[in-house]
Amino acid sequence: MHAGDDTTHWRVKLVLHYDGRDFYGWQTQTNRRTVQGELSALLGRLCGVDAVSVTAAGRTDRGVHATGQVASALIPNRFDERELVRALNALAPSDLWIESAEPVPESFHPRYDALSRTYVYRVGLSPGSRSPFEHRWCWPVGHSLDRERIDAAASCIAGEHDFGAFAKSGQPERGVRCNVSSAFWREAARDAGILEFEITADRFLHHMVRYLVGTLVATGRGLRPVDHVGRLLEGEPGLKAAPPAPAQGLFLARVDYTSGQTEAKARGKGESE
């Protein structure tokens, strides 16, 4: 049983990694393999039911990966956190891994209680990035980009802006303003020839990171002026973002909460990348 708890159920916070290639995104779909559906069924097998309701911090799209997705479920009080992780990973498919589990208040919501989310987008610069063993986890551009141009173009992204120009049409009613705390390019620590774009914000619009990266890469190729991103953020009429970068380079890397995860956050925040 969960230590020190006499109740029959407890709410668990799970940190997940998954390879998004063979999933039709996070959200459950009829006759489609999804991360939510897979995890719900795994928990159901452990709990002796068909499925367990699961919510997540971010509804990742088809082909998008995660190394820090957060999910939550209310489960019977049968095992502690370590036992739960071991049992889930023993049953999980090879493209889904549960990193950790921890108890949280029953009111915890992984999406609405999140303070920020961090995405990383990987761009392959070497010809080898087009290898079938590489291109599934990056955008295989296959040649160098002008680093000064993409760094300069990204420098205006941090702050609160209207990101409507960098989003798929039909945005939700909650608006198009997002507060970005950081956005920058870096060389991948372990993979030569890979550039990573990391961005942290309180919320994201649908395909926002992919449109940003697509426009930044176009800037690095000389197809857009360096100030193009800034002018789009300022709402200059007639300007459009470049086509979005492909899904396979995008990773949900981290979701941050308050240390105690007990403060009630305002409803209406969300993430739809």
Report the distance separating Cα 159 and Cα 62, nearest Å.
28
CATH number reported for the structural domain that contains residue 220 in this entry? 3.30.70.660
**Is residue 185 in a domain?**
yes
On whether the pTM is more than 0.85, the answer is yes
Report the distance separating Cα 56 and Cα 79, nearest Å.
22
Place of tokens 């999933």: 23
Check residue 169 and give its pLDDT: 72
Task: Please identify, among 113, 136, 166, the residue that sits at the C-terminal boundary of a domain.
Answer: 113
Residue among 157, 173, 179 nearest 233 (CA) = 157
Is the same domain home to 195 and 244? yes
Check residue 271 and give its pLDDT: 59
Check residue 18 and give its pLDDT: 98
> Rounded to 5, what percent of the chain is helix, strand, coil?
25, 30, 45
Is the same domain home to 87 and 126? no
Is the same domain home to 121 and 249? yes
Structure tokens at 241: 């973002």
Check residue 259 and give its pLDDT: 66
The beta strands (E) that lie in the chain are given as: 9-18, 55-56, 65-76, 96-104, 116-124, 139-140, 159-162, 177-187, 194-201, 250-256
Q: Which of 6, 22, 61, 227 is flagged as catalytic?
A: 61
Check residue 232 and give its pLDDT: 98
- What's the number of domains the chain is made of? 2
Check residue 211 and give its pLDDT: 98
Taking 70 as the pLDDT cut, the residues of the chain under it are 1-6, 170-173, 259-273
Check residue 168 and give its pLDDT: 82
Range of the domain at 153: 116-253
Check residue 242 and give its pLDDT: 97
Residue among 73, 74, 43, 44 nearest 56 (CA) = 73
Task: Please identify, among 83, 113, 143, the residue that sits at the C-terminal boundary of a domain.
Answer: 113
- 61 counts as catalytic: yes
Task: Please identify, among 113, 147, 173, the residue that sits at the C-terminal boundary of a domain.
Answer: 113
Check residue 75 and give its pLDDT: 93
Q: How many CB atoms lie within 10 A of CB 108?
A: 19
Check residue 258 and give its pLDDT: 85
